[in-house]
Amino acid sequence: MILETYYLDCLAQASYLIISEGEALVIDPQRDIKIYLEAAKKHNAKIKYVFETHHHADFVSGHLEFAKVHDATIFMGKEAKADFNFVGVADGSVLRFGKAKVEFRETPGHTLESVCAVLFDLEKDAKNPEAVFTGDTLFIGDVGRPDLLGATISKEELATMLYNSLQTKLLVLPNETKVYPGHGAGSMCGKALSNDKVSTIGREKDTNYALQAKSKEEFISLVATNQPIAPKYFPLDVQINRKGAQPLQNVIGNLRPFSTQEVVLLQNRGAKILDVRSHKDFSQNAIPSSINVGLDGSFATWAGCVFGENDKVIIVAQEGKEAEVATRLSRIGLDIAVGYLAGGIESWEGEMEPKPRLAPKDLESILENPNFQFVDIRGVGEFQTERIENFKNFPLNNLSDSVANLSKDKEIILMCRSSYRSSVARTFLENLGFKKVTDVEGGILACQEDGLKIVTEECSMSKV
């Protein structure tokens, strides 16, 4: 039996491939499924089964492409409400292929249909499990957030289910059972996720903050509060995953190169320009009204906060990177890239403008000036932990919902951690018609370095 972990840094998302005797199971695949197909081929195996631990909110899964194009069978919890065909597993359902046996356990809490998969390597030990794939039920250092279904069921009810699922389905596994979760640090699916890629049940029992709760009530109050704001695109992704996404090739294969003239024409007709260069390069010189989301960061998450499913996007990227950009957009369900500026920014023949930024040393003198709006677009937890006085917190996660609180007349000064996100927010706001927006160069890190006064506050449970 072979077990391979695939970790997508951009979305802090883990997926898994289990191969035995020519057959393979993929768990929570990312949307671009070529990596799994190639790995399976390398091992002379066919991916016959896809297991979705639940309907993901934070990324679009490739499950339907496996089913439609590669004839795989999808497994999900029996409570899943999906448009596609699947095997709905119940507590105790089993899938065996080769020398691998997967036993499913229903673990409602993060969602109602959540299921974990206990893996046995029958060659090694038919009695004791090798590992458990915990999806978004149990992370390393954290547990699934129970607050995303608020519209249909309260977070307290879900937290109660999560508590029961953890206690009766996962923590009863032997301590040495390896834990392979659905996400790592940086994910919006929890608030204290570790950078580690694998743990054990025993280690989580000992160290996971949520599992230290002395009572069900304490657990509920711990996990139902201080969760990061869910990015704007989460409901869209649930919807897409329920339906099943179209094959990625349908998106990538249709990307067209555009000349400057065509880009201008399309922009006039409502298309948006997405410049994926680093925020530093972008600030030097950029196409007016273009939006900057650097590829060198959690690109998909932040793109998902500023673009919507109905946008049409023209990519400005280093030559050869266009398909990667479109793929990374599609990974969160934004099949919105229509083409790219042929030749990249160097070929642009139209107007350009620099995006001057505010140096931290120049910030101090205007902090008391009522003609400025000081906006920190980091997460609530980050903001609470350390911030500059007079900044208000409007997280980028749902900035599109907060714009009504901002005035178009007063200049906006944006702050984030390193000025990656503030470049996203700045260009997003400019695109919405805010004419006077500047961001603090280097963000709060640079402010600290330059000795600006930082308000600090302990808030251990809110790392995002």
3 state SS of 329: helix
Q: Confirm or reject binding of residue 227 to its own copies (CB under 8 A).
A: no
Gyration radius from the chain CA atoms: 23
Buried b (16+ CB within 10 A) or exposed e, 80-93: bebeeebeebeeeb
The answer to the question of residue 48 lying near its own copies (CB under 8 A) is: yes
- 95 makes contact with its own copies (CB under 8 A): yes
Q: Considering only the stretches 27-35, 89-97, 361-369, 380-388, report the one whose residues sit in contact with its own copies under the rule CB under 8 A.
A: 89-97
Q: Which of residues 103-132 bind its own copies (CB under 8 A)?
A: 104
Q: Smallest Cα–Cα separation from 404: which of 439, 372, 433?
A: 433
Stretch that binds its own copies, among 73-81, 167-175, 328-336, 435-443 (CB under 8 A): 73-81
- In whole angstroms, the minimum distance from the beta carbon of 248 to its own copies comes to 23
Dig out the tokens for 416 from the structure. Answer: 């984030």
Residues in 8-47 that interact with its own copies by CB under 8 A: 23
426 binds its own copies (CB under 8 A): no
Residue whose C-alpha is closest to residue 182's, from 363, 355, 15: 15
Q: How far is the CB of 303 from its own copies (least distance, A)?
A: 33
Distances (CA, A) of 125 to 1, 83, 130, 134, 241: 12, 37, 8, 20, 35
Q: Is 5 in the site for its own copies (CB under 8 A)?
A: no
Binding flag, residue 168, its own copies (CB under 8 A): no
Under the criterion CB under 8 A, does residue 68 sit at the interface with its own copies? no
- Judged by CB under 8 A, does residue 4 bind its own copies? no
Longest CA pairwise span in the chain (Å): 70
CB of 93 to its own copies, least distance (A): 4
Site for its own copies (CB under 8 A): which residue of 16, 86, 234, 420?
86
d(CA 407, CA 362): 22
Buried b (16+ CB within 10 A) or exposed e, 431-456: eeebebbbbbbbbbebbeeeebeeee
**Residue 246 amino acid letter:** Q
By CB under 8 A, tell whether 364 contacts its own copies.
no
**Residue number with CB closer to its own copies (34 or 96):** 96
User: Does residue 85 bind its own copies (CB under 8 A)?
Assistant: yes
- Give the one residue of 34, 41, 69, 71 binding its own copies; rule: CB under 8 A: 71
Choice between 161 and 316, CB closer to its own copies? 161
Number of Cβ within a 10 Å radius of residue 407: 10
Binding footprint of its own copies on the chain (CB under 8 A): 23, 48, 71, 73, 75, 78, 85-98, 104
